[in-house]
Amino acid sequence: MTRLPRTIRLDASDAAIFERAAEPGEWAVPGAFMFVHADPAALKGKARQAFANGFLGTSSFGWSTLVAVGEAGESETAVVVEALADRFVAEFGAPDRASALAAAREEVEFAAGLCGHPVNTLLAVSREFGPDGDIRESFRVIEPRAEKHHAPIWTIVPDGTPDQEEGN
């Protein structure tokens, strides 16, 4: 089994903030390659949001704000690589199938490298253009909010303590 990012939708916001939202449960990759030739000044609105905070679903080529670490079998991983290679040939001008497969494997291996966490761990991405035009990415684990502790309504005192002996 390989751990890979899987799209997750906690609410309806992805459908509103991205041109195309990924379907929940798709295998995902970071997808920075989608912006390699982008003009930073021209990225506006939903395209800017996809660049800044999106993971790319490999089935729909839609975007997801969050992904969860999932486990993919060999055949599922191979399907992801093949689907990416198909897109690289059809839409990104890969010179041949072998080059497209190599690039797709590299993208999937990079995505798998992000998933060294327990299954269902949530991940987010943040992307920006550097001063020389390169794309810089940072990934973070989304920690569940700690449950707030309530104020105690009583105190437990062990038997035989002075408070108990005095009738308190």
Residue 43: which domain range?
2-144
Q: What is the mean pLDDT of residues 149-163?
A: 59
Q: Is residue 167 part of a domain?
A: no
Residue 165: pLDDT over 70: no
Cα end-to-end distance, the chain, whole Å: 60
Residue 143 is predicted with a pLDDT of 79
Instruction: Work out whether the CA dihedral 6, 12, 15, 16 comes out positive or negative.
Output: negative
The token duo for 136 is 């810089």
Q: Is residue 85 part of a domain?
A: yes
Q: Is residue 102 part of a domain?
A: yes
Q: Enter the DSSP assignment of 11.
A: S
Q: Is residue 160 part of a domain?
A: no
pLDDT tens for residues 99-150? 999 999 999 999 999 999 999 999 999 999 998 889 999 999 997 765 555 5
Q: Is residue 152 part of a domain?
A: no
pTM reported for the whole predicted model: 0.82
Q: Is residue 121 part of a domain?
A: yes
Q: Provide the domain count of the chain.
A: 1
